[in-house]
Amino acid sequence: MNQPIEPAAPKRGPRLAVVVGALCFIGFVALLSYGVLQSGRGDREALPSPLIGKPAPQFSLPLLHEPGRNVSAKDLAGAPYVLNVWGSWCPECRVEHPVLTRFALSKRVRVVGYNLKDEPEDALRWLEQFGNPYMLVLADRDGRAAIDWGIYGAPETFLVDARGIVRWKHVGALDDAVIDGQLVPLLRKLEAGR
């Protein structure tokens, strides 16, 4: 660095600057790392679903595979279930499909599909192609019932307990971290009987 006409700076100055600089740099990287890891928590910005702790909305929807037969919230009560919102038009659903299938196969809890705003033929074809992990699939063709659930789009996943109370909601594709870190522990807590 340049200084006005005068002797060179003592050796201690630069060394101190280096140490301070290094500390600042490390602090800076640490701060940004914190930010990145935080951002991984899917819906950090999203506010909690107003449904959590409340009974699941009343619905009566036809089954995708049996359009003549309707299923309601009451029919599903008695044991907890996971409600997974998907559509054949949704690329992220394809991403979470293998994860969801693995989880469903473990038979830990019932996995119910909620087919949102989809043409039945497209939905059926999608399931045929990729496999059907769901115990049953509800078909909400026009998306009206979805509004009661506070569903913005897909993929979204809910956990409803045996008494029909919504306990958990996840927005975005599921991955193993979310399942193992959030869903399974919550299931365990529910089963232990809080």
List residues near another protein by CB under 8 A. 1-8, 14, 18, 21-22, 25, 29, 31-53, 87, 89-92, 94, 116-117, 129, 143, 146-147, 150-155, 171-173
AA letter at 72 = S
CB of 107 to another protein, least distance (A): 28
* Cβ closest to another protein, residue 53 vs residue 78: 53
CB of 183 to another protein, least distance (A): 17
Angle 23-24-29 (CA atoms, 0-180°, nearest 5)?
A: 100
CB of 108 to another protein, least distance (A): 25
CB of 68 to another protein, least distance (A): 26
Distance of CA 94 to the CA centre of its chain: 14
* Cβ closest to another protein, residue 108 vs residue 175: 175
- 143-171 in b/e form (b: 16+ CB < 10 A) is eebbeebebeebbbbbbbbeebbbbbbbb
Reduced to 3 states (helix: H, G, I; strand: E, B; else coil), residue 81 is strand
* Cβ closest to another protein, residue 55 vs residue 172: 172
Instruction: Report the 10 Å Cβ neighbour count for 31.
Output: 9
